[in-house]
Amino acid sequence: MSAPSTAAGAAPASAADAASGPEDTPALFRPITIRGLEIRNRIWVPPLCQYSVTRRDGVPHDWHLVHLGSMAAGGAGLVLAEATAVSPEGRISDHDTGLWNDEQAEAWARITRFIRSQGAASGIQLAHAGRKASVWPEHLRRPGSQPLDEGGWTTVSASAVAFDGLREPVALDEADILQVIADFRAAARRAVDAGFDVVEVHAAHGYLVHQFLSPLSNRRDDRWGGPLEHRARLLLEIVRTVRAEIGDRMPLFVRFSATDWVEGGWDEAQTSTVARWAEEAGADFFDISTGGLVRDAGIPVGPGYQAPFAEYVGRHAGVEVSAVGRITTAEQAEQLVASGAADAVMLGKAQMRDPHFAMRAAHELGAGTSMWPVQYLRARPEVNGGDW
C-alpha cells in the first residue's frame, strides 16, 4: 500500500490559508487559533512515550518536567504529553503515566505551569492500550513478552484477536465499553484541573480505539462492530463525552493512524469519513500518523513519509490536521505548512535531539527571536556573529 496522492489544484488547508501575522513571516511561525486557544507557532511536540514512571503508580516526576519543559523553553508552540492511561489497565507498560487519580493530576499541574510560563501551550494525550497493554517498557523490553507474571494484567480489546506475539485479549462487553468511555471522561476532567490547554484522544498506533476502528481487529457483530459507523462508535462516544466534560473553549484533538498499511484494513478514506463525524461530535483538530495495528506491515519509511496522509485527510474531510513522521529540517516543515499540506507539524525525534529546534528554525527561516527565554537572549546568533 502506497501513500495517497492529492488532487491537483485543491484549495490550501484552512488554517494555513487564514494564518495570521505579517505576510513576510514564515508560515511555520504564524500563530494558529483553535477554539479559545492561540498557539504561537506551528512547530509542535507530539506525544513521546518515556516509560519513566519510577514508582509504577502513573505519577509523572522530574524527568517529565525537564523533558517537556525543555521543548517549551526551546520555542515549541504546543507540547503534548505522552500517551497517558485513563485507567491502570490502559497502560502500555507499568512505567507509564496515568490520569486516573488526583495525585497524578497534581503532578501534571506542576508541569503545565512551567510549560505555560515559557509561552507554550500544553496538551495531553489520553489513551488506552487495549490488547497492546501490559508489555515491558521499551528500555527493558524482552522480545514478545507480556509481564503478566511480574505485575502485569489481563488485556482487553474489541475482539479476542491477539496482536502478533502477544497474548490473546478479552473482548470487552457492553458494560466494559461504557466504563472505558467513563474513564476517558474522568481523565478529561482531571486534565482540565491539571491546567492542560488541549486534550487529545489517542485513536492511533494499534491501541484500543484503533482496535475498534480497524476491521482487522474488530470482529464484533453488535453495535460496536461491523459497518464503519459501528466501528467508529467508541471513538465518537468518547469525543462527545470528553467535549461535554471540557467545555466549549478547550481544543479537542484526535490522533489517527490513517492507514494500517495492509490491504483490507483501516485506510485514509475511512479516516477521512470518521474525522468528519468526529468534528461533528466535538473534535477540532486531527493529528495524523499511520500504522501500529499490525506488526511488520512493511511501512516505506522515509523523510516526511506520513505527511501525504495528513494532506489527504485534511482535504477530503475538510478539517485541520498536523503532519508527523521524519520531519527533520526547518525547510521541510515550512514547506508542509506554507503549501497547505498541513496546518502544523509534529516533530518528535528531531526535538528530542534538539529541544531548541524551534528557535533554530526561526533563525534559519528569518522569523525573529520572540520565543527565546530571556535567560538565553545573550546566546542568540544575531549577537554572536550570526552562526547557530
The set of catalytic residues is 207
User: Three-state SS for 275?
Assistant: helix
What is the rounded distance in angstroms from the CA atom of residue 69 to the CA atom of residue 78?
Answer: 11
- Written as one string, the DSSP assignment of 56-69 is SSS---HHHHHHHH
| Residue among 120, 61, 60, 184 nearest 351 (CA) | 120
Contacts of 271 (CB under 8 A, 6+ apart): 256, 257, 258, 259, 288, 309, 313, 317
Half-sphere CA count of 139, side-chain side, radius 13 A: 7
| Residue among 198, 226, 202 nearest 214 (CA) | 226
Neighbours of 196 (CB within 10 A): 28
- 365 and 334 Cβ atoms separated by less than 8 Å: yes
